[in-house]
Amino acid sequence: MALDIAAVQAALTEDGLDGWLLYDFHGSNPIARSLAGLNGSGKMTTRRWYYMVPATGEPRALVHAIEPSTLDSLPGHKDLYAGREALATGLDGLVRGLARVAMEYSPENANPYLARVDAGTVESIRRRGVDVVSSGDLVQRFAALWDANALATHVKASEALYRIKDRAFGAIAERVRAGRAVTEYDIQQLMVGWFQEEDLIADAPPVVAGMEHAGNPHYMPAPSGSRSIGRDELVLLDLWGKLREPGAVYADITWVGFTGPRVPEEFARAFDSIARARDAAIHLVQEAATNGTTLRGWQVDRASRQVLESAGYGAHVLHRTGHNLGVEVHGNGVHMDDYETHDDRRLLPGTGFTIEPGVYFAHFGVRTEVNMYVDIREARVSGPAQAAIITLV
């Protein structure tokens, strides 16, 4: 990832900041490492390094003398340090003349996905008379937004996931109708093969969860302990993947089926509620994009969760409404979250993310998941949104 210094400086000026201080020690800040172009560089980085992009003027780096080439790919002046005293002197110079800088910091760790800089490092900067604020929206702009190519890879991955979902439901229906034994793991392994056919990759195999296992949002079938799928049972599919090419971003969907002709009222009512919660979130995002109004991740989560709470399902919500999508399935951008964390980052044009409300019980669970992309004056859903639980048999 190439760091566009001029664009960063324009953003700093727009946000009223004097600088953005990137810091890492032994991989503690993957956001900074990515922005500095260190991921996959092969460079040994066992010591602390700092890179300051001021709102005006030349960037400056502070790196250890035994790893002097750490940030050579970035423009600007470089100072070396070795001992603690030299480090302290170097930090004095790095922040001299600045009053307010951004770092990968979140007040009270409200957003742990962003909080990559340790408290002691923040204290050391503040002790020098500099106010440290969150770099959340800077990270959004320079480490999370999709370009046209990324969006195209997402759309292709999404289309492939929907095809795999349909094949999986078809395989379940065929086997149940024929009275053939089939387990969650059997279907998962079929899906793994279809991922290869579609040339998709993922950080884990898809989830196939029947009945009580669907009540666990992070259930994963295994060769042992996987349950059989029989008649008149609920089955949840959660699948995510991306194209096998550099810069590709993820798609991530969840659908629910029932292996009988009539979905029980308890399941149908729960699914209707999560579908309405999903649609409330979608509507809010689309309305804000159309009107050009600022919308933050916590607001999307709150709009969705209010629907579930009003329907009496508040106690059965176990996770946020959605997460950012990027080259990792959980990206570095804004999450739709005011439940697990308080994400006050903006939904900027170029942002991709999931909307996935769910409710969970001891004997079943339901979730609906779609992907959204925010563009200038427009926000759209990548694929079809499930209206009701699908009857498979």
Q: Which domain holds residue 13?
A: 5-143
Q: What single-letter DSSP state applies at residue 391? A: E
Q: Contact 324/140 with Cβ under 8 angstroms?
A: no
Q: Are residues 217 and 366 in the same domain?
A: yes
Q: Are residues 210 and 79 in the same domain?
A: no
Q: Are residues 224 and 238 in the same domain?
A: yes
Q: Are residues 198 and 213 in the same domain?
A: yes
Residue 317: what pLDDT?
A: 98
Q: Are residues 127 and 215 in the same domain?
A: no
Q: Are residues 129 and 162 in the same domain?
A: no
Q: Which residues are CB-contacts of 315 (< 8 A; sequence separation ≥ 6)?
A: none
The span from the CA of 291 to the CA of 287, in Å, is: 6
Task: Give the end-to-end CA distance of the chain in Å, rounded to a whole number.
Answer: 49
* Residue in 335, 356, 164, 212 with CA at minimum distance from that of residue 274: 356
pLDDT tens-digit map of 37-58: 987 777 889 999 999 999 999 9
pTM (two decimals): 0.91
pLDDT tens-digit map of 76-129: 999 999 999 999 999 999 999 999 999 999 999 988 889 999 999 999 999 999
Q: Are residues 325 and 364 in the same domain?
A: yes
Q: Are residues 225 and 94 in the same domain?
A: no
Q: Are residues 93 and 163 in the same domain?
A: no
Q: Are residues 201 and 181 in the same domain?
A: yes
Q: Which one-letter amino acid corresponds to residue 26?
A: H
**Does the pLDDT value for residue 300 go beyond 60?**
yes
Token code pair at residue 116: 């990559």
Domain's final residue, options 143, 164, 184: 143
Token code pair at residue 91: 């930090």
The span from the CA of 131 to the CA of 335, in Å, is: 26
CATH of the domain at 302: 3.90.230.10
Q: Which one-letter amino acid corresponds to residue 187?
A: I
Q: Contact 25/48 with Cβ under 8 angstroms?
A: yes
Q: How confident is the model at residue 2 (pLDDT cuts 50, 70, 90)?
A: low
Domain's final residue, options 112, 143, 174: 143
CATH of the domain at 88: 3.40.350.10
- DSSP-assigned states of every residue in 308-364: HHHTT-GGG--S-SB-B-SSSSS-SS--B-SSSS----B--TTEEEEE--EEE-SS-
State how many domains the chain has. 2
Q: Are residues 127 and 204 in the same domain?
A: no
Q: Are residues 229 and 328 in the same domain?
A: yes
